[in-house]
Structure formats: C-alpha cells, structure tokens
Structure 1
C-alpha cells in the first residue's frame, strides 16, 4: 500500500452504513469530506467506539511507538496483519482499534523513472471500512508521534500486479466487531484475518499522475485515464 486514500462522503453516511443510530453519534460533521487525496502525515477522519457511542475524530495518519522514538525512526503509516499479535502492537490492539472510512485507495507502481498511480474501489460502490490502530485517546490533544496506522494484508487474485499489499477492508458488520473493545485483541485479529474483503470485491484502473502531488484533492483524480 503506497499511502493514499479517498474520503469523500459525509461522516454520518459512513456511520449509517455501519448501522448506528444517529442518537449514538458524537462529533460527526454534517458536510461531505470531499478529499480525493488523503495522504500520510495529515489528520483524517476516523471512527471508534467509546462508552457505547460512535465517535468521529480527526487523527494524524502516522504513528511512532516509544521504541521507534528511541531508535530515531520515522513514523509508520501501516501495520502488517501478520504482526498484530506481537508485543509491538498489543497495546494498540487492546485499546486502540478504530476504523478509517474510505471510498477507495491509490497504489503507485514504478515504471522507469515514473510512478504510475492506480485507483482501487469496491465494485459495489459502497463505503469501505479500513481496519486501523491508534494511540490517540478520545478528547486528548495531539502530541508528536501520536496518530493511526492502517492495517494491511497481502494482495492476491490479480491485484498483486498493482502492489504486494493492500489495506484491510472489512464489511460493515465486521468493522463494528473490530471496534468493539469487549472483544479480546486475539478475537479482533481473527475477525481481521477471516473477514477481509477479497480482491474479487474491487475494480482498479490507472488515473492521473496529479495524485502524486499534494495540491490536488478534487474528483478528477479518480477518473480513468488511458494506460501509459
């Protein structure tokens, strides 16, 4: 996963797709997000369960563990599914399971000296719910390194031609289970492992190289272009 997603709809629409009563939503903005180029290092909308309510939060897309800080490492943006049960992620798996709502994501493949972007979206046209982890606590101010990472798994079924990993997308029902902290982290890992949407659920096609920059965020980025 190269690290760009799209968030374009109203947060309440994503919540409705999850099946939550509007009375159980906290801090959900009314307007559409309309960001067709969400990139790491910036805050983006997430959802989590907190005291039985569904909470919307803008959290930075990066995470720096205390171990990584000591080593002087750069922040991570992804967490591999196969490593979720290791001690490195255990704290986040116990207390920091969140969902990043999305409509699709980009992958960029190298072709000579260029990076050619492709857009991947669900064939159904429905909203995506990406499994993620955070060390951000609801209502607390941001501090350096605090943020979220998106869980990724190995690509299969043809999408490997685009990239060898992809974000772990869940159905609405399984996304709700992932956020439910009454489930153990081992149970949550099984939900992620067994319930991720397969490659057959997606379409993908080449798009504008404007995705490679940060200044473009409008919907021309997801329009198909002729393959280079």
Structure 2
C-alpha cells in the first residue's frame, strides 16, 4: 500500500499495550501510516470503563465501538503475535505468524487526534474473534487478520460499517493460515527486545 508515512515508531519484537505503534488508515483521501497509542477509552467513558486493548468482533456494532467501526477503521501491520498457555507460574509463550511468512494485516479500531494528556482518548484497539478451536487454546481469541486485498477494503471509508463487520466475520484468515512455536519466556519482560525473541525455544 502506497502511503504517506507519518510514523517514527521503531520496529519492536515485543510491543505491549500502552506503546505507540504505526497504524495504516485513510485521512483526507490519503493512505497514511501514523503512530497511535495502543489502548482506547472513549472520552465519555473515563472513570466508567477501563482502557480497552481489544474489541470483540461480536460487539463492534454496539454503542461504544460503532463510531470507530464507521469512521475509525485501521490496520496494524505486524510479523506475528505472542500467546501464552499453561497454568499460572508455569506459562509458556508461543509466537504465532503466517504459515507463508507474509506480513499480518490486523484489523484495528482507532480514534486519531492531537496529542492529549489522556493518550487513550486518541488510541486504538485490536479487533479479536473466536479462535475457532484451531489455535493454541480452544477457549482463547485471536486477532482478526486480513490478506492484503481485504485489508485495503477494510480501510475504504466508502465501505459501510455493517459491510465492514461482515468482512471481518467472513474474510478473516482462519487457523490454517498460521503457524506457531514455543519461544523463550523472556518475552514476558516488555523491556526485552531483539530477534532472538521470535526464535524457537531450545
């Protein structure tokens, strides 16, 4: 996707909620990549609901998310993400990525605006769906990941919100599109960075 680059964020191997990440979106008829705070809280919800880092796909049309579904669709580009399994105190991290090693285009909902004393007022959240029993934990969820063409359609401001929701339901990549392996527990420390974090655990 050709885009105006407004992002200054460095690539991270261990991005955490609260960090600023580059998001693809459309503004003023242009595709842009701008940095935004991972975590969103509607201005009217301060003190009522916590900052959200994920939005459940089955709830994106409710009062809280509907304005962003209509006017705030974005894409987070990534190489993969981490999930944890196991019991408390003995959890194992896994790195999940496309089986064909192509980039991930993760559906996001975002509110862009000027820098604020409350970063979450201008932040983003990832759209998640049921894992369909095919990833690590049958009870867990996964980000909604598109291929290139469907990511471009998700960003299209002319696509009605209802159709965008249906796109996420019908065209998100299924479990068969992904591969995963165990990685080092060092990823549990958000200060740890580097390519060694996404290597298979020994």
Q: 2:182 aligns with which of 190, 195, 206?
A: 206
Q: Relative to 1, partners in 2 of residues 1:61 and 1:163: Cα closer, same or farther, differing over 3 Å?
A: farther
Tell me, yes or no, if the aligned pair for 2:109 and 2:127 is still in contact at 8 Å: yes
Q: 2:24 aligns with which of 25, 32, 47?
A: 47
> Structure 1 residue 82 and structure 2 residue 61: aligned?
no
> Structure 1 residue 57 and structure 2 residue 18: aligned?
no
Give the corresponding residue for 1:10: none
> Structure 1 residue 97 and structure 2 residue 73: aligned?
yes
Which TM-score applies when normalising by structure 1?
A: 0.82
Q: 1:131 aligns with which of 102, 107, 123?
A: 107
Q: 1:68 aligns with which of 32, 36, 45?
A: 45
Give the corresponding residue for 1:26: 4
Aligned-partner SS, 1:186: helix
Gaps of 5+ in 1: 1-14
Give the corresponding residue for 2:191: 215
Which TM-score applies when normalising by structure 2?
A: 0.92
Could you tell me how far apart the structure 1 residues matched to 2:166 and 2:88 are?
A: 39
Q: In the TM superposition, what are the counterparts of 1:142-181 in structure 2 within 5 Å?
A: 142-144=116-118, 145-146=120-121, 147-161=123-137, 164-181=140-157
Tell me, yes or no, if the aligned pair for 1:99 and 1:129 is still in contact at 8 Å: yes
Q: Relative to 1, partners in 2 of residues 1:78 and 1:119: Cα closer, same or farther, differing over 3 Å?
A: same
> Structure 1 residue 141 and structure 2 residue 118: aligned?
no
What per-residue deviation string (whole Å, max 9, x for no partner) do you get for residues 77-131 of structure 1? 0000001111221111111000000010000123341321100000111011000
Equivalenced residue count is 200
Tell me, yes or no, if the aligned pair for 1:61 and 1:77 is still in contact at 8 Å: yes
Structure 1 stretches of at least 4 aligned residues deviating more than 4 Å after TM superposition? none
Gaps of 5+ in 2: none
CA RMSD for the aligned pairs?
A: 1.9
Tell me, yes or no, if the aligned pair for 2:104 and 2:145 is still in contact at 8 Å: yes
Aligned-partner SS, 1:88: coil
Higher helix fraction: Structure 1 or Structure 2?
1
Q: CA deviation at 1:186?
A: 0.5
Tell me, yes or no, if the aligned pair for 2:9 and 2:22 is still in contact at 8 Å: no
Tell me, yes or no, if the aligned pair for 2:4 and 2:32 is still in contact at 8 Å: yes
> Structure 1 residue 192 and structure 2 residue 160: aligned?
no
